[in-house]
Amino acid sequence: MDFRIEKLADLLVNYSCNLKQSENILIEYEGYESRNLIKAIIRKVYAAGGFPHVNIMDSQISRELLLQASDAQLEFDNHIALEQMKKMDAYIAVRGSENASELSDLPTTTFNRYSLLSKPVLDERVNNTKWVILRYPNNAMAQLAETSLEAFEDFYFDVCTLDYKKMSKAMDSLVEYMNKTCNVKIKGPGTDIEFSIKDIPAIKCAGGSNIPDGEVYTAPVKDSVNGYITYNTPSKEAGFTFENIRFEIKQGKIVKATSNDDDKINELLDTDEGSRYFGEFALGVNPYILHPMKDTLFDEKISGSFHLTPGACYDDAPNGNVSAVHWDLVNIQREDYGGGEIYFDDVLIRKDGLFTIPELAGLNPENLL
């Protein structure tokens, strides 16, 4: 077995989930290629004294079920899933779907209904377990990254097994700085937006919830967002790839949304009352991830990027916005993507993707590699 699989399994169980004696952990996975990692995770769980439980997922089967599923059926299924999740202390999801667009022909209303009804399970997992989610490298992901499978595997294991303890320490200064910041201004091509983050905690992500990782997030005060923003990375959501996304925002609400499919993006943003407000603002700092690959777990960590997320906030960075949607949309501000500036309380803290003040320089790429 590839030694990198054992190293990743150890990171997931003993660092990300910090699994303890007699704790229950739910492991969900999809994809034939990911089985060796799942077996390695199970071995690490037993070695830690924990109890592994496994759910096998399949996007093709999920699609077939959702095409004709009634609300009653979805409520029943999610009740079972919720009861299972309540018994868990930790959760690992390994996603290795062969086709990232398998759900693309589901009606938007069907996908939105499923998101709403499954939200209690998501909330239980996010708020009450030690969780981590990752993709597994396969041909589908290599195609998205426009590279060979071998090259993508090398990239993947570099990204996923970097020194997260070093990153975590470097993030402390940014967390401290954000926690004392009131106002944020972001400028760049197609973007001029401002909002407050006053009194909303900043949270560092250094391998504890997602692999790969590398972001510090908070949330904008719900009604404080004003201006316009253009996202320069594509985003796959509900099986569809959105591009050229642009929002106009007044008093926190997205009042105009355009993309390569205006109807589809507005249907998604009309899922519920909270889906036109923002629930997260974050800075991405992973030095290995430089270009988008239509996979949120990677793209939101891109070095020199930020994301401003329509939909629900997290409980540990609350701004009061409730929604079944949480859509991480990414803007890369490095010079090769057009550049841009971020100001905290009128102080320029990042320009063209690089931190400009000494106390945050430890998060620039050369200091994390």
pLDDT tens digits, one per residue of 269-293: 999 999 999 999 999 999 999 999 8
Is the same domain home to 86 and 192?
A: no
Under the banding of pLDDT at 50, 70 and 90, the label for residue 97 is: confident
Give the domain extent around 292.
164-367
49, with CB counted inside 10 A (0-12, 13-18, 19+), is exposed
Is the same domain home to 114 and 20?
A: yes
For the ranges 110-124, 172-186, 227-241, the one whose mean pLDDT is highest: 172-186
Under the banding of pLDDT at 50, 70 and 90, the label for residue 107 is: confident
For residue 1, pLDDT over 80 is answered with no
Structure tokens at 271: 């899922």
Is the same domain home to 152 and 170?
A: no
Under the banding of pLDDT at 50, 70 and 90, the label for residue 22 is: very high
Is the same domain home to 37 and 183?
A: no
Under the banding of pLDDT at 50, 70 and 90, the label for residue 143 is: confident
Q: Tell me what percent of the residues of the chain surpass a pLDDT of 90.
A: 83
- pLDDT value at residue 265: 97
Neighbours of 254 (CB within 10 A): 19
For residue 302, pLDDT over 80 is answered with yes
The three-state secondary structure class of 49 is: coil
How many angstroms separate the CA atoms of 314 and 316, rounded? 5
Element (H, E) at 34: none
Is 9 within 8 Å of 163 (Cβ atoms)? no
Is the same domain home to 92 and 191?
A: no
For residue 161, pLDDT over 90 is answered with no
Structure tokens at 85: 């999740």
196, with CB counted inside 10 A (0-12, 13-18, 19+), is middle
For the four alpha carbons of 106, 243, 298 and 188, in that order, the dihedral sign comes to negative
- pLDDT value at residue 140: 87
Q: Residue 169: which residues within 8 A CB-CB, separation 6 or more?
A: none
Is the same domain home to 35 and 131?
A: yes
Is 138 within 8 Å of 31 (Cβ atoms)? yes
- pLDDT value at residue 341: 98
Domain stop point among 160, 189, 217: 160
Domain count, the chain: 2
Domain stop point among 125, 143, 160: 160
For residue 189, pLDDT over 80 is answered with yes
Q: Mean pLDDT, to the nearest integer, of 58-86? A: 94
Q: What proportions of the chain, in percent to the nearest 5, are helix, strand and coil?
A: 40, 25, 35
For residue 351, pLDDT over 80 is answered with yes
Domain stop point among 106, 128, 160: 160
Of 41 and 2, the one with more pLDDT: 41
Structure tokens at 78: 């999610």
For residue 25, pLDDT over 90 is answered with yes
For residue 88, pLDDT over 80 is answered with yes
Is the same domain home to 89 and 22?
A: yes
For residue 247, pLDDT over 90 is answered with yes
Q: Name the average pLDDT for the chain.
A: 94
Is the same domain home to 277 and 352?
A: yes
On the question of a cis peptide bond just before residue 234, with omega within 30 degrees of 0, the verdict is no
